[in-house]
Structure 1
Amino acid sequence: MARIALGLSYSGQGYAGWQSQPSGNTVQDRLEQALARFAAGPISTVCAGRTDAGVHGLMQVVHFDTALRREAFSWVRGTNTFLPADIAVQWAQPVPKAFHARASATARRYAYILLESPVRPSVDAGRCGWVFRPLDGDAMRAAASALLGEHDFSSFRASGCQARTPVKTMTRITITRRGAYWRFEFEANAFLHHMIRNIMGCLVAVGQGQQPPAWMHDVLAARSRDAAAPTFAPDGLYFLGPVYDPAWGLPSRCAAYDWLP
């Protein structure tokens, strides 16, 4: 048996998230169906990070074991033949049995793309969040600095979160703007269910002047979901991918990265 790692990108608009469900309308379901058709047999995948309904993936990484021997480019082209247009394998690579798409990741990265405009999105509907009130970037950066380091992120945790602990380490948050679009990037060792969308709700509240930057300290310290702002829309959230030790030799980017503002 060989272990293969795949990197894939997808638009999450039409799917009920990553994880397989009885409905069959998830990204994992579509990927495994395509792999099974190409390999002429069932294949089960393990992903680096699950995404919710409506959330996009630029560099989701999965691994699977198979007895089928094919060149890396064959896994890419063959699987893509059976995938819908909004999901595409970007690369494939054989990896040692010690590699695990989830457990081998040292960190995970997300981006949230937010449109600031009096008018709602049109051609980019479903691919970006939206606010119609102006945002203060310096205020949001000051608030975000409170989240850096190791903290109990219970205030940003969904009620159905299955993580064993709410304690995570946030290593980087950057907030930039290009034209009408804001780009928020987050990197941490791991994330809780809805954690980024709940953080975004708080950052937007600060950016619009509804709360002062210091309020983020209070929300974090409360360790209660009731202390934070409502969960923000999934539309603008992108899983940028996991971070692995370079020794694994896996790509860290794909062409889709250059599409985002």
Structure 2
Amino acid sequence: MRNIALKLMYVGTAYHGWQIQKNAVTVEEVLEKSLEKVVGHPVKCTGAGRTDAGVHAKVYVANFRTTSSIPCDRLPLAVNTRLPDDIVVTGAVEVSEGFNAISSCLKKEYTYRIYNSRIRNAFFVDRAWFYPKYLDETVMQAAADRFVGTHDFAAVKSVGTDVKTTVRTVHYFDIRRSGIVIDCKVCANGFLYNMVRAMVGTVIYAAEGKFPPEAVTDILEGRCRTDAGPTAPPGGLYMSRLWYNEPGLTEEELT
């Protein structure tokens, strides 16, 4: 039995997230059905993370086990012919028996994109958050810096999947403006349900003057979701980088 890791990218607009659900179409479901036609037997994919409905992935990894002898360099082309245009397998590599796309992941980066202009752009629909009020990225960065480190992130977790602990380590939260586009890049050892989108909403509230950037520290300590900013819409969120120690899945090989 071979353990195969697939490198993917997908536009999540048409899907109810990654994970299979009973009454909604998901990326995992579509991928598994396509894989089964290629390898000739049922498969179960394990994904790098549970992206929510409407969220995208510039980089994603999923592994599955197969008895098929199809070479890895032929798998992407074979699977892509059976996938819709908004899901693409960009590579495949045979990995160690113990590799698991989610538990073997050392850290992840999400990028949230804001289209900060008074006039919306049709090409950014469901690809960025159209935000017509000017945002000061320096204030956003001052607030974002307060999230960096090991904290209890219950204040920026929406009600959803139960977790053993809401403590996570954020390695960086960088705000970068390029003209009228603002990219918010967050890297952590793990994320809670809607955590990134709530963090973005919080730094935007700081930029709007609803509270000073340093208040983020008190918000985290208070652990109350209603004290933080709103949950940003899903269409602006992308999984953008993943880190593994597995050969064939190093950071350079995933970008």
- Classify the TM-score, shorter chain: over 0.9
Alignment of 1:119 with 2:112, yes or no, is no
3-state DSSP class of the match of 2:234? coil
Residue 254 of structure 1 and its aligned partner are, at CA, apart by 7.5
C-alpha distance in 1 between matches for 2:149 and 2:206:
20
Alignment of 1:175-254 (within 5 A): 175-245=175-245, 247-252=246-251
Task: Check the 8 A contact 1:57/1:241 in 2, yes or no.
Answer: no
CA distance in 2, matches of 1:63, 1:176: 33
- Per the normalisation by structure 2, the TM-score is 0.96
- Whole-Å Cα distance in 2 between the matches of residues 161 and 21 of structure 1? 14
Q: Where do 5+ consecutive residues of structure 2 fail to align?
A: none
SS in structure 2 of the partner of residue 135 of structure 1: coil
Distance 1:49 1:206 in 2: 29
**Once superposed, what is the RMSD of the aligned Cα atoms?**
1.5
Deviation at 1:58, TM superposition (A): 1.1
Pick closer, same or farther for the CA change 1:29–1:184 going to 2, 3 Å.
Answer: same
| Cα shift at 1:253 | 5.8
Provide structure 1 residue ranges, at least 5 long, that are not aligned to the other structure: none
Aligned-pair identity (%): 35
Give TM-score, length-normalised by structure 1.
0.94
Do the aligned residues in 2 keep the contact of 1:61 with 1:241 (CA within 8 Å)? Answer: no
Looking at structure 1, the residues matched to 253 and 11 of structure 2 have their Cα atoms a distance apart, in angstroms, of 14
Q: Distance in 1 between matches of 2:185 and 2:161?
A: 22
Q: Distance in 2 between matches of 1:89 and 1:138?
A: 37
User: 1 CA distance for matches of 2:75 and 2:41?
Assistant: 14
The amino acid of 2:251's aligned partner reads S
Q: CA 1:154–1:171 in structure 2 vs 1: closer, same or farther (change >3 Å)?
A: same
Q: CA deviation at 1:174?
A: 1.0
In structure 2, what is the equivalent of residue 166 of structure 1? Answer: 166
Moved over 6 A (4+): none
Count the aligned residue pairs.
Answer: 255
Q: Deviations over 1:207-256 (max 9, x none)?
A: 222321112112111111121122111111001142112x533153689x
